[in-house]
Amino acid sequence: MLGRMMQMPLLISSLLRHAVRWHGDSEIVSRLVEGGIARTTWTQLGERACQLAHVLNDWGVQRGDRVGTLAWNNQRHVETYFAVSASGAVCHTINPRLFPDQIVWIINDAEDTHVFFDLSFVKLVEQIAPRCPSVKSWIAYTDSEHMPVMTPQALCYETLIAGRQTEFDWPQLDENEASSLCYTSGTTGNPKGVLYSHRSTVLHAYCVCLPDTMSVSAADCVLPVVPMFHVNAWGTPYAIALTGAKLVLPGPALDGPSLASLMADEGVTLTAGVPTVWLGLLKHLKEAGQKLPALQRVVIGGAAAPPAMIRQFAEMGITVRHAWGMTEMSPLGTVCTLKTKHTDMSSEAREAVLLKQGRPIFGVDLKIVDAEGRELPRDGKAFGDLMVRGPWILESYFKGAGGDVLQDGWFATGDVSTIDPDGYMGITDRSKDVIKSGGEWISSIDLENHAMAHPAVAEAAAIGVRHPKWDERPILVVVKKPGADLTRDMLLEFMRDKIAKWWMPDDVVFVEDLPHTATGKLSKKDLRERLRDYALPGV
Ligand code: AMP
């Protein structure tokens, strides 16, 4: 025997144990849906997670069972993250912004056994509960004083955990067991589940903290604006448990003034979110003449960071970290930080680098390939399909949806990019058929199907067009049936009760024909090219 290292699995319970044992007094501040701000520490949060684990135990929640959440970023949601995963069940974060039918589909596909929800979603729960047979109980994140009367009657979170033991013997799990589940709508067809493991989550958390990633330290005060239902808020709750940074959770208030006041009051040094929220924050700061002297770094991801945004933050002395990733990647893949060689460059040259999506972080390997799968040079000019692999990148979707998704061990991201000789990746296009508006996916195929259901529509194509606030908005390009009488408003009215309001196309453009590929498929690439000079009404 030559000797060896201890065989200790990387578990979410170990993150929680570490947080409680080594930075038990680090603060967690959260804005509540009921109003007001709650303050707690890892010591208290750890105890409450144990109390919740006892509840799950009493309910008979088994290893691998899915437990859902419909909630904003708040303390109770963090407790649920840790209690569910650490006890061996799977924490399934559900995106409440989806259309109710999609939420029902997702809950049924996940076979969630219990669902925790914020009071913002009482009506939603009442609407969907009768169609979710696997869910044995719905639990409102509130206390008895604020409990709503509803049908079905929900359970009260605080009442459930009150008086329970504040210690729990977390099970010794295999680090490759599933810990959490998040569905992506960023693919064609039905949403697909991405199952993270304890190992992938802990490795990803380490990486989030690295200096060239988000650089999270115990001296930070971190406010994740990115929702906890979007890929675990980019791993921030785990990174905080790992480092002992102060955590500030904004609850439902994601508008500029609310974020700015919370950041100022709590001394936030690091924040993360999609470009749309930063537009709101920057607009407010400018109009109110407010400054955020403590804020050092803003991580921008989920969609491309516009140059003006990077510049505006830079003028305030705030560094932008442009990041790229996917639900399928836990999510971080690349982050843009400068190298020593950039120190002497002009500010314009540095800005050009910062606009790129960045260099791969350890754990993620990248390549770009042509249509035949041949690797393209990393010369900053050739662009091709971006492929990834690594220990926190999906190998297959939940329940095998979509079949075998790897190509020679690589996952095709559906993004098209360049990689330059320094390793900086720059997204140039997207090959997947989805539209991303304000950080949320809209299925172009769903829009097309709803439009085609109209008797006057011969063919319809949905594409995303640039929008200054939402990054992209959908429009429909429609060929009418010969002699048919159809207007923009008639078609939109027809679609109104079938899709979420924010999915509604911003415009309908009528055309004589649509471009097709040699195999007869709609060519979105050519259509986008045809509509290159199109501008949304009023933009
Ligand atoms: P999601 O799974 O919702 O996180 O979406 C992932 C997708 O969002 C990527 O495949 C890209 O298409 C897009 N995306 C994420 N980050 C960026 C970025 N920094 N720049 C451009 N597109 C991005």
Q: Is the peptide bond preceding residue 100 cis, with omega within 30 degrees of 0?
A: no
pLDDT of residue 327: 98
| All domains of the chain in start order, with CATH | 8-252 (3.40.50.12780), 433-530 (3.30.300.30)
Residue to probe by mutation, ligand 1, list 436, 441, 472, most atoms within 8 Å of CB: 436
Over residues 307-359, the pLDDT tens digits come to 999 999 999 999 999 999 999 999 999 999 999 999 899 988 999 999 999 99
- Got the DSSP string for 127-156? HHGGG-TT--EEEESS-GGGPPP-SSPPEE
Q: Are 107 and 128 in contact (CB under 8 A)?
A: yes
Over residues 35-79, the pLDDT tens digits come to 999 999 999 999 999 999 999 999 999 999 999 999 999 999 999
pLDDT of residue 524: 86
Convert 473-496 into a string of H (helix), E (strand) and C (coil).
EEEEEEEECCCCCCCHHHHHHHHC
Residues with CB under 6 A from ligand 1: 184, 186, 231, 301-304, 322-324, 326-327, 331, 357, 413-415, 427, 430, 436, 441
What average pLDDT does the chain have? 96
Q: Are 372 and 392 in contact (CB under 8 A)?
A: no
* For residue 520, pLDDT beyond 80: no
Cα 199 to middle of ligand 1, angstroms: 23
pLDDT of residue 188: 84
Residue to probe by mutation, ligand 1, list 185, 196, 424, 427, most atoms within 8 Å of CB: 427
Over residues 74-126, the pLDDT tens digits come to 999 999 999 999 999 999 999 999 999 999 999 999 999 999 999 999 999 99
Token pair 């662009």 is found at 383
